[in-house]
């Protein structure tokens, strides 16, 4: 996973709430067994509409979306598709819980910012469509001077900024896992189930 200390670029506005992962990447593309190449299928059905907002922002690095972005299905393909399409950051008032984790594990930064603060960005962005999202300083900056601080838990920040292999980090606690297993009996044994 490539590290993401900071992202600067133009912003795509997707002005609606409750965008579910079925829209971000429809089911017919979940049959692929690869992890890459989903960008061309991003918002596949919505993209067929020439009026769809995303057509107005080619090359955007940051997606500014409505509340509850990425709700619904757990398909990580949604995060892969956004990242493969070229987004490094999604800013929204809130995220579906599973999507949020998937995004972090994909190196796509899910940045939660209250709607009233997002509103402060509208005018500056209309004048000049550019933002910097600084994951080390935990700050969004517009070149005209608007700054918005955001919260990101330390674990997600570390994962994103360092591009960490989360499994390697957990395996550093292998002694603890061994100890837990030694102290707690196994609940089921699937191998022992009769055929």
Partner 1 sequence: MSVRTLFRKVWDAHVVSDGDPALLYVDLHLVHEVTSPQAFDGLRAKGRPVRRTELTVATMDHNVPTVDGPVTDPLARAQLDALRHNCDEFGVRLFATGSGREGIVHVIGPELGLSQPGMTIVCGDSHTSTHGALGALAFGIGTSEVEHVLATQTLPQARPKTMNVAFTGALPFGLSAKDMVLDAIGRIGIAGGQGHVIEYTGEPLRALSMEGRMTICNMSIEAGARAGMVAPDDTTFAYLEGRPAAPTGADWERALDAWRALRTDDGAEFDETVVVDVGALKPQVTWGTNPGMVAPVDGVVPDPGDYSDPEQRSAVERALRYMDLAPGTPLVDVRIDRVFIGSCTNARIEDLRTAAQVVAGRRVAAGVQAMVVPGSARVKQQAEEEGLREVFESAGFEWRRAGCSMCLGMNPDVLAPGERCASTSNRNFEGRQGAGGRTHLLSPAMAAAAAVAGHFTDVRELA
* Contact residues for 78 (Cβ-Cβ < 8 A; gap 6+): 21, 24, 25, 70, 99, 102
Closest to 70 measured CA to CA, from 95, 88, 89: 95
By CB under 8 A, residue 66 contacts partner 1: yes
Closest to partner 1 by CB, 149 vs 173, is: 173
Cα 62 from chain centroid (whole Å): 11
By CB under 8 A, residue 189 contacts partner 1: yes
Give me the 44-63 binding string for partner 1, x by CB under 8 A, dash otherwise. Answer: -x------------------
Closest to partner 1 by CB, 126 vs 193, is: 193
Find the binding residues for partner 1 in span 67-86 (CB under 8 A). 67-68, 71-77, 79
By CB under 8 A, residue 151 contacts partner 1: no
Closest to partner 1 by CB, 126 vs 185, is: 185
By CB under 8 A, residue 132 contacts partner 1: no
Closest to partner 1 by CB, 20 vs 130, is: 20
Radius of gyration of the chain (CA): 19
Could you give the CA distance from residue 162 to residue 49 in angstroms, rounded to a whole number? Answer: 38
The structure tokens listed for 49 are 């509409």
Tell me whether strands 11-14 and 62-65 are parallel, antiparallel or unpaired.
parallel
Q: How many chain residues bind partner 1 (CB under 8 A)?
A: 60
- In the complex, least distance from residue 194 CB atom to partner 1, rounded to whole angstroms: 7
Using alpha carbons only, give the angle 166, 70, 85 rounded to the nearest 5 degrees: 75
By CB under 8 A, residue 33 contacts partner 1: yes
Could you give the CA distance from residue 165 to residue 192 in angstroms, rounded to a whole number? Answer: 33
In contact, 73 and 25? CB cutoff 8 Å: no
- In the complex, least distance from residue 68 CB atom to partner 1, rounded to whole angstroms: 4
Which of 40, 49, 97, 123 lies at the binding interface for partner 1 (CB under 8 A)?
97
Cα 99 from chain centroid (whole Å): 7
Residue with the two structure tokens 């579906």: 96
Residues interacting with partner 1, by CB under 8 A?
16-18, 20, 22-23, 26-28, 30-35, 45, 66-68, 71-77, 79, 94, 96-98, 101-102, 105-106, 153-155, 165-167, 170-171, 173-174, 176-177, 180-181, 184, 186-195
């Amino acid at each position: 996973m490539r590290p993401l200390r900071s992202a600067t670029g133009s912003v795509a506005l997707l002005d609606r709430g409750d965008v579910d992962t079925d829209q971000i990447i429809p089911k017919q593309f979940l049959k692929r067994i690869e992890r890459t190449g989903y960008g061309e299928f991003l918002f596949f059905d919505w993209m067929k509409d020439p009026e769809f907002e995303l057509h107005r922002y080619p090359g955007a690095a940051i997606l500014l979306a409505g509340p509850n972005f990425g709700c619904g299905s757990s398909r990580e393909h949604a995060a892969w598709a956004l990242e493969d399409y070229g987004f490094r950051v999604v800013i929204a008032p809130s995220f579906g819980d599973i999507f949020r984790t998937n995004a972090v594990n994909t190196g796509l930064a899910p940045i939660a910012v209250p709607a009233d603060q997002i509103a402060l960005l509208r005018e500056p962005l209309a004048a000049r469509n550019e933002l910097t999202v600084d994951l080390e300083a935990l700050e969004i900056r517009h070149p005209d001077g608007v700054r918005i601080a955001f919260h990101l838990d330390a674990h997600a920040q570390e994962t994103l900024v360092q591009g960490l292999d989360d499994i390697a980090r957990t395996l550093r606690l292998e002694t603890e896992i061994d100890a837990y297993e030694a102290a707690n009996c196994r609940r089921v044994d699937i191998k022992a189930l009769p055929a």
